[in-house]
Amino acid sequence: MSTFPAKEKALGMYRKMYEIRKYEESIYYLFLEGIMPGTIHQSTGEEASAVGMLYDLRKEDWMASTHRPAGHDIAKGISVKAMMCEMFGAADGCCHGIGGAMHTGDISVGAMTANAIVGGNLPIAAGAALAFKMRGQDNVVVCFFGDGASNEGSYHETMNAAGLWKLPVIYVCENNGYSANTAISLTCCQENVAADRAAVYGIPSEVVDGNDVLAVNEAATRAIARARAGEGPTILELKTYRHGGHSRNDACGYRPKDEEKRWIQDHDPVKMFRERILKEGAATEEELKQLETAVETEVDEAVEYAKTAPLPENESALHNVFWEG
């Protein structure tokens, strides 16, 4: 069992996990009601991965996300209000209303703009890590990718370069068992799709329970320390499970019901960490309820603000498109 942290850290991690869960739940219902435009790829059920990996990073460390970025972005420090405004296309969004659900980010907190191309963020993260190394900085990059991306050519080319150049980057495979709606067992002959192939590139790896936030955090601590010390990249494969479909139109008819029960009901990361906090005596039931109420209020207020927030001016359409230096 993972070592339990100090109360302040434990409650801080739980708050972030609960914040992500309530944000994603809110987004889900806003889409069902037809209030919010676009589409969504939600991270509900994968909160431990985001928070465990990113909680101890510095603001100056960078993070690269995927088409499922909300949990990563909130864990890295983007506010729920800025994320919600972005989902409504408002000017106060983290990308000023022009990014949308799959292209959120805010470099001021170290969150690189998410890349919706499967495997597209992998070489970008390597480039950022190379820049840190060439400047003599001890900053690190954490790059998330899914199990499906481990079969992309960009994955293997990037791992080869990262291992060869000993880049300060941690590659985090969120293995939720499915590449969109196809079981990964049908597309890859390795059980651990990223970790089992890491040795080819001279990169150490670990397989971790991605729903145990403390286990993820301990693995992250080891990998971050290696990267800061100039020892190169690490591949972490986090076994996790998304509670919903690949996108909002996916009803998950391809997933066995007993599998869903095992992961969603019996191995929910938010529920498990809440129970651990109570068991360790880090907080009382009343304290947790107060924390949860505060988060729920924050999310509700973000929704109400974003609904009426001003849209970007027409003149802003070409901002950040052409070089303006």
Per-residue pLDDT tens digits for 170-228: 999 999 988 888 888 898 888 899 999 999 999 999 999 999 999 999 999 999 999 99
- Give the dihedral sign, CA 26/17/112/249: negative
The string of pLDDT tens digits covering residues 117-146 is 999 999 999 999 999 999 999 999 999 999
Distance CA 196, CA 173 (A): 12
- On whether the CB atoms of residues 87 and 306 are closer than 8 A, the answer is yes
- Record the tokens describing residue 225, joined without a space: 């320390």
Q: What is the largest CA-CA distance in the chain?
A: 57
| Domain 7-246+253-305 homologous superfamily, CATH | Thiamin diphosphate (ThDP)-binding fold, Pyr/PP domains (3.40.50.970)
Put simply, whether the predicted model's pTM sits higher than 0.85 gets the answer yes
- On whether the CB atoms of residues 78 and 111 are closer than 8 A, the answer is yes
For residue 38, what are the contacts with CB-CB under 8 A and spacing of at least 6?
87, 100, 101
